Amino acid sequence: MLAADSAPDPLRTLVERMSLALHERGWSRMPARVYVALLCEEREQLTARQLTGLLGVSAAAISSAVNHLIDSGLVIRDPIPGSRQEHYRLASGGILGAVMRKQEGSPHLADLADEGVSVLGPGSSGAERLGELAEFVRFMDDELKGISERWKTHQAQRTS
């Protein structure tokens, strides 16, 4: 679908522009390119070699990018029996699913910040900042749960 050696290909241009937009939102550049390529690709799974060809980058760049995306919960590595190559595919649930999995699976930052308040002692500047961090993290956790539910409702209404 994407071709590394083609002249101005509208799809390749789209991949580059979308990955740049993700980069501007804090994503690392190569994981953004790989993620967008997987989003746009018709095939369900791609090998590292296929991704290298599609994006015109080194195997090392692809390896680092897919490892980052796997760690983020956005991509899944599928070993294929009888094949020495691993295949990569998008994780179910999209970006919201990855965000929710990360939010549930990580140590609770707010609890650690509360612990820091105890260590530093109430009233200190550091304790104030940690208290605000704890409050913000709990607020964001609650908001993400609400966003997730609203998104599921939106998707259900859209498909019916």
pLDDT for the residue 82: 84
The distance from CA 10 to its chain's CA centroid, rounded to whole angstroms, is: 24
Say if residues 127 and 116 touch (Cβ distance below 8 Å).
yes
Tokens coding 156? 């259900």
Residue pointed to by tokens 């509360």: 114
| Proportion of the chain in helix, strand, coil states, percent, rounded to 5 | 65, 10, 25
Tokens coding 152? 């599921």
CA 63 – CA 79 distance, rounded (Å):
15
pTM for the predicted model, two decimal places: 0.76
pLDDT digits (tens, 9 = 90+) for 74-113: 999 988 888 788 899 999 888 887 777 777 755 588 899 9
pLDDT for the residue 70: 94
Give the H or E element holding residue 97.
helix 94-105
pLDDT digits (tens, 9 = 90+) for 28-52: 999 999 999 999 999 999 999 999 9
Say if residues 27 and 62 touch (Cβ distance below 8 Å).
no
